[in-house]
Amino acid sequence: MVRDSKYGSVREKPESFIYVPYEQGGDDFTTRASFFVRMRGDEGGIMPAVRSVVKQMDRDLPIQRMTSMRALIDDSIYTDRLLAMLAISFGVLATVLAAVGLYGTISYSVARRTREFGVRLALGAAPGSLFALIMREMALIVTEFNAPLDRVPD
């Protein structure tokens, strides 16, 4: 007796299996049979050895495909990885667009107030205080943009 296991995909619900001896499986069984070899070390180096052992046991037994469990799992979660990469790409793109938009808004505001800043500097304002003023306005724009919809004034 063995536990239920996953056969085709990492995400599938575990199914019950019946294990029978190879000789009793019949033609349908032999066309769908899979054998697993547990090993340590380099997968590429062990595959020719497995082929030779199988050929020694039964010369007529066809070996259609040999692959590692890592490759099978990677193929199984390929779609999930692709969707994750797309989500990350769109997130980065949205962040870049937001940063460019914020830069444009602040740049326009500062360009419009150039004379005001010149007067402030002439009256003795420190350049750092003007920078702080611009940063506060930027923070105000960002916090207003991120306000929940129920707090937005009519």
The predicted structure's pLDDT at residue 94: 95
The predicted structure's pLDDT at residue 25: 64
The predicted structure's pLDDT at residue 138: 84
How confident is the chain (154 residues) per 10-residue block, as mean pLDDT? 68 74 65 73 80 84 79 85 96 94 88 91 92 88 70 55
Helices and strands per DSSP (H, E), number in the chain: 6, 0
The predicted structure's pLDDT at residue 8: 67
pTM, to two decimals: 0.57
The predicted structure's pLDDT at residue 54: 84
The predicted structure's pLDDT at residue 31: 63
- The CA–CA distances, whole Å, from 56 to 29, 36, 46, 60, 71 equal 21, 17, 16, 10, 27
CA distance 119 to 84: 52
The predicted structure's pLDDT at residue 37: 79
